[in-house]
Amino acid sequence: MKKTRIKVSKKRITFMLLPHGGRRSYQITLSYSFIFALFLIWSALTGVGLYYMSQRIENAQLKDANKKLKQKITHFSKKLENALDLVRETQDLNIRLKGLLALQSKKKVIEYSAMGGPSELKDFKISELLKPEFDNSEELFDANFRELLTSAWQTKTSFKEISEYLNYKRNLARYTPAIWPVYGRITSGFGLRINPVTHRPEFHHAFDIANLKGTPIRATADGKVIFAGWGGKLGKTVVIAHNLGYTTYYGHCDEVFVKPGEKVIRGQIIASVGMTGRTTGPHVHYEIHRYGKPLNPKFFMSGGF
């Protein structure tokens, strides 16, 4: 059986140091294997040093990044907490508005305004959830954030409903007759009467309001003129169609200042008191209809011009 032998190189390298001044020279002889071993040791030490330095640099960068991230988280958590406070306030305002809109008397409105109550949204601090001792902080944060979004959408929907309701009330106020067409003396009311011309009983569907000839007549609500001209027994007449089914009639006018198709607003002068048509004196014949049914004007004449 043959034995395997590892041959080690016998090659060497000699370094000589020759000082100036004739002093003794120095000679160092090193084998190639020793020099190679020194090179390996130097490479290893250099690699370890570079790795250590890179780790220190990386750790410093991570520390700086974590610091900045923590600052951003703190900033956004405060912003989110402010948003949550705003949602709580809007929820409370929403509840109060709905309550106020449901009340009719001024006394009840004042009493309700003094009431208060807790918000349905839970009180929590996002910054507290970010502390290390909260093991389930992520779940708590997600749950509360979902609740925040749900509450915000519910509040938005509720405010939309309130806006629509207020818009309806606004239109109701604008298009519902609410003032006197002209101030004066009511010579004939709504209901059964003896006709002053024919002297026969009849049902009068209007108010006759007497005043001096030429006194301005005003529209009692916003609307659109659908007739302006001669109305037979009513003489010169103006008819205005309002939203919500209301129609108003102004008869026996002296002069008419509007035309069919013209839009008018409450309080606008549309004609003047006269005695055209079949009448015994200057007055305005004022009728209110809703969906074609005559209504008693006295329930719509509480306001001024």
Position 119 pLDDT exceeds 50? no
Under a CB-based contact definition with an 8 Å cutoff, are residues 158 and 98 in contact?
A: yes
CB 177 within 8 A of CB 288: yes
Q: Which of 39-48, 88-97, 245-254 has the lowest mean pLDDT?
A: 88-97
**pLDDT tens digits for range 250-287:** 999 999 999 999 999 999 999 999 999 989 899 999 99
- Average per-residue pLDDT in the chain? 79
The span from the CA of 274 to the CA of 236, in Å, is: 9
Phi-psi region of 193 (alpha: psi -120 to 50; beta: other; left: phi over 0): beta
Rounded average pLDDT over 204-220: 95
pLDDT in tens, 120-129: 444 555 555 5
**pLDDT (0 to 100) of residue 285:** 95
- Tokens 């989110």 belong to which residue? 80
- % of the chain residues with pLDDT over 90: 34
Q: Is the pLDDT of residue 296 over 70?
A: yes
Residue 7 has pLDDT above 70, yes or no: no
What's the count of helices (H) and strands (E) in the chain, helices before strands?
4, 14
Convert the pLDDT of each residue in 97-113 to its tens digit: 766 666 555 444 444 44
Q: What is the pLDDT of residue 130?
A: 58
Q: What is the reported pLDDT for 3? A: 45
CA distance 144 to 155: 16
Residues 6+ positions from 268 with CB-CB distance below 8 Å:
218, 219
- For residue 129, the one-letter residue type is L
Global pTM reads 0.54
Sketch out the chain's domains with CATH numbers. Answer: 11-17+26-175 (no CATH), 185-300 (2.70.70.10)
Note whether 295 and 261 are within 8 A (CB): no
Cβ atoms 62, 70 nearer than 8 A: no
CB atoms < 10 A from the CB of 128, how many?
13
- Give residue 9's pLDDT: 47
pLDDT digits (tens, 9 = 90+) for 62-98: 888 888 777 777 777 677 777 777 777 777 777 767 6
